[in-house]
Every structure is written in structure tokens, then in C-alpha cells.
């Protein structure tokens, strides 16, 4: 007999699932911290956010490995920022759906880490990662705007921009922009997000609809940037993505009126 080792296909699939158990452990731990933050007092919420930033950042460095210029540096902060976004979102909806959000939180955190590893190994997975970035912005918007008073919109928008800065930089890095250029593109994207978030909050649009509009703006701006870099004309990009933004605003106003 030859010395080859024959492995059953089912056992191979099982081994691939548990190849990086630390990814699942970190995702579960971060989701657990987020769930505790949904019902904690303001003081303990601040403690939990600090713990998420520390655990998520150090855990990402441990799992992803050394930094490389090809992939950028925002990826190391994404797990921590996603944990904060889930905490804010959960505090806004805890009275309604509570711990039903917990499995989704674990999947989002696990998905971000797995996609970062996939990008590092094969340079594939950018589109699913961008969708998760949009989900993080959606959760942050709903959580931050729903938890502030109407006359305190500046605090809510400021918190949104602080959290959304990391997904914006990560999206720029995913398009191959690094350093100052990535930060510059992210600042322009955050400016668009701030304008839309301020408008929907002052118009008293429901927070879930506001979150959808802000997330749509975040995603559309990234698409517009990529289209311009691909050689599309400024006029066509402005018409296409401008029409999309106007349509979203009209839908929001109709929902508000209804």
C-alpha cells in the first residue's frame, strides 16, 4: 500500500470549520460584551465600550497577524468598531427584540474577521466585507440617533462620525487607497454621511429609516468613488447616485407622512 493518507470528505469539511477557533471565540466574546451593554447603566456602558476597543483591537492583531501596506491598517480596528456599533444598536432595540440580535451580532463579528483573513490570503472577499461595513454604519446610525434627544442631534451625529470613520477608511483601503489618500476619501465620505444624518434627524424621520438612508449614502458614495476611478464621467456618476439619494429621501418623507 502507498503511504498516502486518505481523508473522508466529511472529516475534511469539519476540519476546515474548526481551523481557526479563535475567530469564533473572539466573536462570541465581543457579542457577549455588547449584549451586557444593552442593559447596562451609562457608567458601565463606557466601561464596556473601552473593553470592546481593547479586546477587539488586540484580538484582531492576534488573529490577523502583522500589518502589511497592501491591506492597510483600519482592518485591525474593524472588530472593535463593529462591537461598539452592535452595542449602540442593541441599546436602541433591546426593549423590542433583545437577545434575538445576539446570534446576528456573532455572525457579523465572525464574518468580518473571516473576510479579513480571506483578503489577506487570497485577495478575495472585498464585496462581502463592504456589505458588512454598510451594516456597521446602519447599526451605528440607528443606535446613535435613537438614543439622543431631538435637540441634541449634534451629539448623535458626532458619535456616528467617530464610529463610521473606521469603516470609511477601511472601504478606501479596500479600493487600494492608503495613507493620506485613504483618509482624504474617508473624510469626504463622512461629510456626505454627516449631511444626510443631520437632515433626517432634523426632519424627524424615524430612526430605522434614517439609518437605512445613511447606510445607503455610505454605500452609494463608495460606489460613486469606484465608478470615477474606473473612468466613468462625473456627470453620469452624479446623475446615477444623485438620483438614488433623492429617491431614498422621497421614500423617507413619504414614510414620515404616512
Mean pLDDT in order along the chain per 10 residues (258 residues): 46 49 92 90 90 93 78 87 92 72 89 88 80 92 79 81 93 83 85 85 80 87 62 52 58 55
pLDDT for the residue numbered 230: 56
Residue-level pLDDT at 6 = 44
Burial (CB < 10 A; 0-12, 13-18, 19+), residue 62, is exposed
**Residue 235, pLDDT score:** 53
- pLDDT at residue number 27: 93
Tell me what pLDDT residue 11 has.
42
**What nine digits make up the cell of 162?**
467617530
Closest alpha carbon to 168 in 63, 24, 72, 29: 72
CA distance 202 to 138: 18
CA nearest neighbour of 34 among 115, 89, 96, 111: 89
Q: CB–CB of 173/74 below 8 Å?
A: yes
Place of cell 463606557: 46
- pLDDT for 12 equals 38
DSSP string computed for 58-121: HHHHHHH-S--TTT-STHHHHHHHHHHHHHHHHHHHTTTTGGGHHHHHHHHHHHHHHHHHHHHH
Cβ distance 35 to 90 under 8 Å?
Answer: yes
Amino acid at each position: 500500500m502507498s503511504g498516502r493518507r486518505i481523508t473522508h470528505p466529511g472529516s475534511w469539511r469539519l476540519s476546515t470549520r474548526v481551523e481557526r477557533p479563535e475567530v469564533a471565540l473572539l466573536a462570541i466574546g465581543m457579542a457577549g460584551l455588547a449584549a451586557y451593554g444593552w442593559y447596562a447603566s451609562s457608567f458601565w456602558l463606557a466601561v464596556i465600550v473601552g473593553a470592546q476597543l481593547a479586546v477587539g483591537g488586540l484580538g484582531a492583531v492576534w488573529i490577523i497577524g502583522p500589518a502589511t501596506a497592501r491591506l492597510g491598517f483600519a482592518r485591525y480596528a474593524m472588530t472593535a468598531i463593529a462591537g461598539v456599533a452592535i452595542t449602540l444598536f442593541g441599546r436602541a432595540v433591546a426593549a423590542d427584540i433583545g437577545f434575538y440580535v445576539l446570534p446576528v451580532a456573532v455572525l457579523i463579528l465572525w464574518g468580518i474577521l473571516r473576510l479579513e483573513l480571506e483578503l489577506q490570503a487570497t485577495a478575495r472577499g472585498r464585496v462581502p466585507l463592504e456589505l458588512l461595513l454598510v451594516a456597521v454604519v446602519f447599526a451605528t446610525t440607528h443606535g446613535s440617533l435613537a438614543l439622543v434627544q431631538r435637540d441634541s442631534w449634534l451629539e448623535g451625529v458626532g458619535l456616528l462620525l467617530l464610529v463610521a470613520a473606521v469603516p470609511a477608511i477601511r472601504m478606501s483601503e479596500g479600493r487600494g487607497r492608503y495613507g493620506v489618500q485613504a483618509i482624504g476619501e474617508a473624510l469626504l465620505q463622512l461629510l456626505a454621511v454627516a449631511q444626510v444624518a443631520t437632515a433626517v434627524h432634523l426632519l424627524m424621520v424615524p430612526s430605522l429609516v434614517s439609518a437605512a438612508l445613511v447606510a445607503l449614502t455610505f454605500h452609494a458614495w463608495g460606489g460613486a468613488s469606484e465608478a470615477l476611478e474606473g473612468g466613468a464621467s462625473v456627470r453620469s456618476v452624479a446623475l446615477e447616485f444623485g438620483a438614488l439619494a433623492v429617491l431614498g429621501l422621497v421614500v423617507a418623507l413619504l414614510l414620515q407622512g404616512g
